[in-house]
Amino acid sequence: MPNDSADRPRRIRMQRRGPLLVEGPVEVELEDGSTVSSDRFRVALCTCRRSRRYPWCDTSHRSRA
């Protein structure tokens, strides 16, 4: 039986003043070529680069929105 989640595209939700919300699990390749992964069902990727946990969002964008 095929894995239905592997057959469908990943959904990425964009927000005007916030992170990209990505249906997980995900593997993210960073600028230096290293990778980080999360097995959560949804992850928030930082787009403002203020996060102390980059590339994961820690809501630091809220303090200067």
Q: What is the pLDDT along the chain (65 residues), one digit of tens a residue?
A: 445 556 778 889 998 888 999 998 999 999 999 999 999 999 999 999 999 999 999 998 887 65
| Global pTM value | 0.76
Alpha-carbon gap, residue 24 to 11, rounded angstroms? 9
